[in-house]
Amino acid sequence: MLWMRTLPRVAIGYLVLAVFAALGLAFAAYSMRFGVRGLGIDLSAETHLYTPGDERANLAIFAHMILGAAIMVLAPLQLSARLRARRPRVHRAVGYVIFTGAMATALGGLGYIALRGTVAGGLMDVGSTLYGALMLVAAVQAVRLARARELARHREWALRLFVLAMGSLIYRLHYVAWYALTDGMWSTPELDGPFDQVQYFAFYLPYLAALELWLRRGRYRPAGAVAD
Ligand code: HEM
């Protein structure tokens, strides 16, 4: 029977989703706690990310952790066709919160790079700067196109923003998987090993490319248009 053949696939799909959601929530909690502590107390004994006496750099990096965690948790809500169709005002309000959070997260990360640079510098600065710049562009485009009622293009940019909002989580998941499989081969504490260098870009570019392929192949069928 058809349902007996499709059930395992559906169950596996839900299981993968549940695991991803649990890891996402755990990382969001870690990021939020780290950010709150960094804004409240001197963490210089604990992390290179805290700069004693540099209020701007500390505000930039630790506020970006709090806001980044918030957009990661909120972004999946926007994928719900049901919410878009039945509660367009909620979709719109959450959309503006994500827009503001994404802009501030990206600007915080970019500000920190400008003031302090990343731990590995050079290519890691480039990878993180491109990541932040893409997040800014995707956030602006998603809101601009929604306001212009270009809903098909709005959804494409919103999906790009979603992938970018998950990027920071994906980055950590790559490391967890790699360390479990290889015990950290080609990775250093300064994040300048060959594996680390690939990661400067690999946590968002391949996923954006896969999304583009999916969009171009026309598999995406928008549902639940936002009524005004
Ligand atoms: C969903 C969004 C984001 C979240 C949740 C997030 C979270 C974090 C966390 C928790 C850290 C500390 C890493 C550690 O555990 O030691 C971190 C570091 C950092 N993040 Fe983000 N981030 C996000 C987006 C961004 C964006 C868009 C940029 C863009 C420039 C960025 C730039 C950085 C930089 C430069 C560092 C410091 C890297 C280093 O030198 O060690 N982040 N982020």
- For position 1, what pLDDT does the model report? 63
Per mean pLDDT, which range of 5-9, 13-17, 96-100, 172-176 is the poorest? 5-9
pLDDT value of position 196: 98
Closest C-alpha residue for ligand 1 atom 10: 31
Residue 2: is its pLDDT beyond 70? no
Q: Whole-angstrom Cα distance, residue 29 to residue 20? A: 14
For the CA of 125, the closest atom of ligand 1 is 35
3-state helix, strand, coil in the chain (%, to 5): 75, 0, 25
For residue 19, report the distance from its CA to the centre of ligand 1, in Å: 22
Q: Closest Cα to atom 15, ligand 1: which residue?
A: 31
Tell whether the model's pLDDT for residue 227 goes beyond 50.
no
Q: Are 62 and 39 in contact (CB under 8 A)?
A: yes
How close is the Cα of 183 to the center of ligand 1, in Å? 23
Q: pLDDT confidence of 224, banded at 50, 70, 90?
A: very low
110 in contact with ligand 1, CB cutoff 6 A: yes
pLDDT computed for residue 126 by the predictor: 98
Residue nearest ligand 1's atom 28 by CA: 109
Cβ 132 under 6 angstroms from ligand 1: yes
Atom 8 of ligand 1, residue of closest alpha carbon: 65
How many CB atoms sit inside 10 A of residue 110's CB?
19
68-121 pLDDT tens trace: 999 999 999 999 999 999 999 999 999 999 999 999 999 999 999 999 999 999
CB of 72 closer than 6 angstroms to any ligand 1 atom: yes
Q: What is the mean pLDDT of residues 62-66?
A: 98
pTM over 0.85: yes
> Of the residues 61, 64, 118, which should be mutated to test ligand 1's pocket, given the most ligand atoms within 8 Å of the CB?
64
Please give the average per-residue pLDDT across 124-150, as a whole number: 98
How many Å apart are CA 175 and CA 114, to the nearest integer?
25
- pLDDT digits 0-9 by tens, 198-219: 999 999 999 999 999 999 987 6
> How many whole angstroms from 141 Cα to the centroid of ligand 1?
22
What are the φ and ψ backbone dihedral angles of 33, each rounded to 5 degrees?
-65, -45
Count of CB atoms within 10 A of residue 155's CB?
23
Q: Is the pLDDT of residue 228 over 50?
A: no
User: Residue 71: is it exposed, middle or buried by C-beta count within 10 angstroms (0-12/13-18/19+)?
Assistant: buried
Instruction: Please report which confidence band the pLDDT of residue 6 belongs to, taking 50, 70 and 90 as the band edges.
Output: confident
pLDDT higher than 60, residue 225: no
- Residues near 41 by Cβ (< 8 Å), separated by ≥ 6? none
In the prediction, which pLDDT does 222 show?
Answer: 60
Q: Is 168 in the pocket of ligand 1 (CB under 6 A)?
A: yes
Q: What is the mean pLDDT of residues 31-56?
A: 97
pLDDT score at 4: 67
State yes or no: pLDDT of 147 exceeds 90. yes
The minimum-distance atom of ligand 1 relative to the CA of 113 is 35
